[in-house]
Amino acid sequence: MFEIRIHSRGGQGGVTAARLIALAAIRDGKYATAFPFYGAERRGAPVVSFVRIDDKPIRVYSQIRQPDMVIVLDTSVMETVDVLHGLKAGGTVFVNSAHPPDFKSVRSYHVDLTGIALRENLVVAGSPILNTPVLGALAKLKIITVSSAKTAIAEMFSDERNIKAAEAAYQEMVA
């Protein structure tokens, strides 16, 4: 089983990203679950979402405490949350950033999802929406396929800018 924990802020699309990743994995013929964990917070508050992907049915529905991958959609979350807590040995971290993350002894990747969302004008209530471009980055890392990422996005959103953002993230991903 491959487990992902996503750290974001309310309104950035972290919860929807988890759903999209799971949907893409299902389109790849896998089993997947996705769910968020948050309280009564509002836009801008830290949010954690979880995704599980496996070749067989998933019967675990708890929070992911030891993920194989951590995705950080907003680096400011790292000021208050230890995003690496529980990361499995050999695990990876993906960060929404134009610059390489400064993690010691942890394999990490990055791409400027915010810049891509702004270029594509994927903005809601003043916040760049990061849920669709992150699928392109995960396709580059071979977590999901490019075709399943595009299919999942098209099933959830009709606006072509979402697929363009995912394609841009795939091309710009530093892996």
Query: 85, 113, 130, 87: which is closest to 174 by C-alpha?
Result: 113
Q: Give me 63's structure tokens.
A: 């929070």
What is the CA 99 to chain-centroid distance, rounded? Answer: 17
Helix (H, G, I), strand (E, B) or coil at 155: helix
Residue 121 domain boundaries: 2-172
- In terms of phi and psi (left: phi > 0; alpha: psi -120 to 50; beta: otherwise), the region of 51 is beta
Query: Does an H or E element contain 75, and which?
Result: none
Q: Which pLDDT score is estimated for 76?
A: 93
Amino acid in the structure at residue 104: K
Q: Which pLDDT score is estimated for 9?
A: 87
Q: Which pLDDT score is estimated for 11?
A: 79
**What total number of domains does the chain contain?**
1
pTM across the whole model: 0.94
Q: Which pLDDT score is estimated for 103?
A: 86
Q: Which pLDDT score is estimated for 125?
A: 82
Q: Which pLDDT score is estimated for 124?
A: 86
88 close to 38: Cβ distance less than 8 angstroms: no
Q: What is the dihedral of CA 19, 20, 22, 26, to 10 degrees?
A: 130
Distance between CA atoms of residues 126 and 74, nearest Å = 15
Q: Which pLDDT score is estimated for 146?
A: 97
Q: Which pLDDT score is estimated for 10?
A: 83
Q: Give me the CATH number covering residue 156.
A: 3.40.920.10
For the chain, 175 residues long, give each residue's pLDDT as a single digit of tens: 999 999 998 878 899 999 999 999 999 999 999 998 876 656 777 889 999 999 999 999 899 999 999 999 999 999 999 999 999 999 999 999 999 888 888 999 999 999 999 999 999 888 898 999 999 999 999 999 999 999 999 999 999 999 999 999 999 987 6
Q: Which pLDDT score is estimated for 127?
A: 84
Classify strands 69-72 and 2-9 as parallel, antiparallel or unpaired: parallel
Q: Residue 171, class by beta-carbon neighbours within 10 Å (0-12 exposed, 13-18 middle, 19+ buried)?
A: exposed
117 close to 128: Cβ distance less than 8 angstroms: yes
Helix (H, G, I), strand (E, B) or coil at 158: coil
Q: Which pLDDT score is estimated for 172?
A: 96
Query: What is the residue whose two structure tokens read 């002894």?
Result: 105
Alpha helices, DSSP H only, in the chain? 14-27, 113-119, 133-140, 146-156, 160-172
Distance between CA atoms of residues 11 and 128, nearest Å = 9
